[in-house]
A and B are shown apart, each in its own frame.
Chain A
Amino acid sequence: MSHPTSPVIELKQITKTFGTTRALEGIDLRVEPAQTTVLIGPSGCGKSTLLRLVVGLIGHDAGTASFEGSDITPDNIRALRRRMGYVIQEGGLFPHLTAEWNVVLMARQLGWPERKWRNRLGELAELTRLPMDALGRYPVELSGGQRQRVSLMRALMLDPHVLLMDEPLGALDPMIRYELQVELRGIFRRLGKTVLLVTHDLDEAGFFGDVIVLLRDGRIEQQGTVEELVTNPRSEFVRAFVNAQRSALEPLQGESRS
């Protein structure tokens, strides 16, 4: 396979242990620009660990991790984070700040003038279709879907090159989840962002992912499109994983999506 462009994120032989547990072992991964790469696998396979490693919440024991050509180190990670947007399952919003303040906090710390951050806030509210009156509310006063929209706005505020999303829709009920899936994919495509997304749901992975990376016990089991995983599973595990999730969803696929 040839790589005409340089990757946004490149991991080489990444290993991470927690105590005696091997969380990641010999991970090689390239995240290509303007693509959505989905990390999938059963609980404890290391997919969230991998994402947290990229955003620098944990360090790695061996191997190299680089972001847009720079090695990710404790010294430069804070500068690199300005070019990353991070969204987690429950949104991770600051409960003591209103939605608006959650979104603009970092921009204001960076000294953006009010006009600039207000404009950006308006753009993002429009993009994520968040009602303007929700901006003045505290997280506890928002619905689960609204919280994720605010969380996405916060992640996009500084116009990052990459969105890192850890089960962003995992805590939502199915109707809202479906609605947000459609909207999110629209936003990714419109903005042309590079996205690295973690999910445990193959249906969601197939819906978002240009590339799907299936992990098992800290190793990459198979990497490819959802079709490749379905039609050409590289191992018995991949086949079992695909079948376990496909059976229930198959009748729905095709008619509701794309």
Chain B
Amino acid sequence: MSGVTRYWVAAVVLLLLAQTALAQQSRVTVGSKKFTESVILGELLTQLAASTGTEVEHRSELGGTRVLWSALKRGEIDLYPEYTGTISKEILAGREAATIDEIRTVLAAERIVVSEPLGFNNTYILGMKEDVAEPLGIRAISDLRRHPDLRFGFSNEFMDREDGWPGLRRDYALPQRDVRGMDHDLAYRGLDGGSIDLVDLYSTDAEIQYYGLRALEDDRAHFPRYDAVILYRDDLERRASEVVAALAALEGAITASDMTGMNATAKIENVSEARIAAEFLERRLGLQTDLHEASAWERFWANTVDHLFLVAVSLAGAILVSIPLGVIAVRFRRVGQVILGVVGVIQTIPALALLVFMIPLLGIGAAPAIVALFLYSLLPIVRNTYAGLHDIPRPIVESAIALGLSPRQRLRLVELPLAARSILAGIKTSAVINVGTATLGALIGTGGYGQPILTGIRLDDVGLIMQGAVPAAGLALLCQGAFELAERKFVSKGLRIKAA
């Protein structure tokens, strides 16, 4: 088997391994967005579905509406909790579908079913601290027109949504210029700390009461109703009719104060979403669920496995592709400029954006994350392979030529061994970047050390953030150390010792 063939065989084997690992899926998969209420609702759906004896998986904190919607359409999740206002203004933006019946008709064509409302309306609210709003005499949103210097901090999704800031500003002719996008869970802290004056809230947020906030009246009726519903794929009725039947128990079962209470229990008392959901199901539906909460070690281990999987597969792929690309770049100068240019441009794409670009192509979970991390790992290895080969002193290359070695022999026996140190340094850089960047994968449901970080940010739990951040940093250091050892193996002693 020639070197090149061996190369591609290795690449294919890797792909197959990745494929198998990715293919493990439960029969029913629930999704939820990355804010606490959605996670609680996701847990409710999961435990209710599991009570029928069906194997159910909850892929929680997957991101925003678009991520969940595309995952549902692609069948990567079977159901998730959504809000009618979000469906009509965001998912079906531009199409006339205001009432729940109109929504049903439109979504039926997309083979998605809308449940009956769960019972509460979680609308958007603009909130200010009482002691800021009172002296200015602000009670309704239209009062904001008189105070153009107020600083607004909106959740990132709200900044872009048609029913969010763009539509709101138009409907009320709001003059404010200092408007920033931020994480919804962080916005409260900004408000509390006084760095912003007004935030968007969900009416069921526990913090409204906790921080003593004034909810401004929507006096022009800008916001529609956001009745919580369940969206599910219509094939679920065929694949797991017992699950669909069980879910009906939640219809009309959750009041606004139930939801606010559950949010408060999660965010203020730091009770896990799974436990909150279990207690609700028992109290309201008399349903006993055997709640299995993973211990901190189990979670750590699961996160470690997920994280290593992302890093190992993407890095191995990047090594297999980058070294040949570096060799080609040195051999053919023109092509080389193109290669270095392209991988350089890829590197300038923000990691988060790269992850999101992958979703329409590859859905959610490990596959898009691995591709994004793979692309991200290319540049350091390609560039260092190129530099390592390019910097070999001319007399040594010419000696190899004059000795009668063929180009392939020269590459294998002389050039790659001489460039080994530079190539290894490139791989090391990629590995360390990769370990850090892989934490972002949690945003699209890959798990890994990003998961506790994401949850920790959402719950304002520094300890939880540390459970992700510390192992991620440790793994990066471990990679660094491993490559120093690898250098002893792959870099000739003749290149490591100094002249006497």
Contact = CB atoms under 8 A, between A and B. Distances in A.
Interface of A: 52, 55-57, 78, 81-82, 84, 86, 88-90, 92-98, 105-106, 109, 138-141, 154, 158, 164
Contacts, number: 74
Interface in B450-500: 491-495, 497-500
A55 B494 contact: no
B403 A81 contact: yes
Contact of B403 (A89, A98, A106): A106
Contacts of A98: 494
B395 interface: yes
15 contacts: A56-B402, A57-B398, A86-B403, A92-B398, A94-B400, A94-B414, A94-B418, A95-B418, A95-B492, A96-B417, A96-B420, A96-B495, A138-B497, A140-B499, A141-B500
Contact of A97 (B401, B494, B498, B499): B494
A154 B396 CA distance: 13
Dominant secondary structure of chain B at its interface with chain A: helix
A52 B401 CA distance: 11
Given A138-B494, A140-B499, A106 B404 contact: yes
B492 A96 contact: yes
Nearest to A83: B404
B405 interface: yes
B422 to A, nearest CB: 13
Contacts of B395: 88-90, 92
B403 A154 contact: yes
Given A88-B399, A92-B395, A109-B405, 6 more contacts: A56-B401, A78-B404, A78-B406, A98-B494, A138-B492, A154-B403
B494 A96 contact: yes
Contact of A140 (B400, B405, B494): B494
A145 B373 CA distance: 51
B52 interface: no
A145 to B, nearest CB: 14
Nearest to A106: B403
Contacts of B420: 96
Which of A55, A92, A139, A141 counts the most B-chain CB atoms under 10 A from its CB? A92
B256 to A, nearest CB: 72
B409 interface: yes
A82 B400 CA distance: 12
B493 to A, nearest CB: 6
Contacts of A86: 399, 402-403
B413 interface: yes
Nearest 6 CB-CB pairings of A with B? A138-B494, A92-B399, A96-B492, A86-B402, A81-B404, A92-B395
Nearest to A99: B494
A57 B403 contact: no
A9 to B, nearest CB: 15
A140 B498 contact: yes
A164 B406 CA distance: 20
Interface in B385-405: 395-396, 398-405
A57 B493 CA distance: 29
B409 A109 contact: yes
B403 A95 contact: no
Interface string B340-358: 0000000000000000000
A258 to B, nearest CB: 32
Contacts of B500: 141
Interface residues of B, number: 26
Nearest to B493: A138
Contacts of A84: 402
Nearest to A108: B413
Contacts of A94: 396, 399-400, 414, 418
A141 B403 contact: no
Contacts of B414: 94, 96
A140 B414 CA distance: 16
A98 B403 CA distance: 16
Contact of B402 (A57, A97, A109, A140): A57
A97 B403 contact: no
B340 to A, nearest CB: 25
B368 to A, nearest CB: 40
Interface in B356-391: none
Contact of B494 (A78, A82, A105, A139): A139
A109 B410 CA distance: 11
Contacts of B404: 78, 81-82, 106, 158
Interface in B411-466: 413-414, 417-418, 420
B199 to A, nearest CB: 61
Interface in B271-315: none
A93 B398 CA distance: 10
Contact of A105 (B396, B413, B495): B413
Which of B396, B403, B491, B499 counts the most A-chain CB atoms under 10 A from its CB? B403
Contacts of A138: 492-494, 497
Contacts of B498: 140
Nearest to B406: A78
B278 to A, nearest CB: 63
A232 B494 CA distance: 51
A90 B400 CA distance: 14
Which of A57, A82, A89 counts the most B-chain CB atoms under 10 A from its CB? A57
Nearest to A86: B402
Contacts of B413: 105, 109
Interface in B6-39: none
A92 B405 contact: no
Which of A88, A94, A109 counts the most B-chain CB atoms under 10 A from its CB? A94
A88 B395 CA distance: 8
B492 to A, nearest CB: 3
A121 B236 CA distance: 76
A90 B399 CA distance: 11
A42 to B, nearest CB: 21
A81 B418 CA distance: 23
Nearest to B418: A96
A139 B406 CA distance: 23
A156 B334 CA distance: 38
A255 to B, nearest CB: 36
A95 B396 contact: yes
A92 B396 contact: yes
Interface string B158-199: 000000000000000000000000000000000000000000
Nearest to A90: B395
B398 A141 contact: no
A140 B398 contact: no
Contacts of B492: 95-97, 138
A49 to B, nearest CB: 13
A55 B406 CA distance: 14
